[in-house]
C-alpha cells in the first residue's frame, strides 16, 4: 500500500521548483524584447528596483520593523 509513498512525496519539491523556474522563465521571455534597446532596458531595471523597494518599505511598515 505504501510502497512508493516516499518516492511520490519527494517528487513534489522538484515539481514546485520547476513551476517557479517556469514562471520566472516566461516572465524573462516576456520582457526580453524590452532589453534590446538601452532606454527601455534602463527603464525596466529601474521599475524592478523601484518595485523591490516599494515592497520592502511596505512590509517593513506593516510589520513595524522601522519607524516610518
One digit per residue, the tens of pLDDT, for the chain of length 68 reads: 678 888 888 899 999 999 999 999 999 999 899 889 999 999 999 999 999 999 999 999 899 886 55
Tell me how far apart the alpha carbons of residues 55 and 37 are, in angstroms, rounded to a whole number.
Answer: 27
- Stated pTM of the model: 0.61
Could you tell me if 1 and 29 lie in one domain? yes
Could you tell me if 17 and 2 lie in one domain? yes
The backbone torsions φ and ψ at residue 67, rounded to the nearest 5 degrees and listed phi first, read -95, 100
Could you tell me if 62 and 44 lie in one domain? yes
Tell me how far apart the alpha carbons of residues 67 and 40 are, in angstroms, rounded to a whole number.
Answer: 35
What is the structure's pLDDT at 54? 97
What is the structure's pLDDT at 15? 94
What is the structure's pLDDT at 4? 85
What is the structure's pLDDT at 45? 93
Could you tell me if 21 and 46 lie in one domain? no
Amino acid at each position: 500500500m505504501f510502497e512508493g509513498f516516499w518516492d511520490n512525496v519527494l517528487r513534489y519539491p522538484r515539481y514546485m521548483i520547476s513551476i517557479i523556474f517556469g514562471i520566472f522563465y516566461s516572465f524573462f521571455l516576456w520582457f526580453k524584447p524590452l532589453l534590446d534597446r538601452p532606454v527601455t532596458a534602463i527603464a525596466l531595471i529601474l521599475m524592478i528596483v523601484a518595485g523591490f523597494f516599494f515592497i520592502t518599505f511596505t512590509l517593513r511598515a506593516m510589520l513595524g520593523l522601522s519607524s516610518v
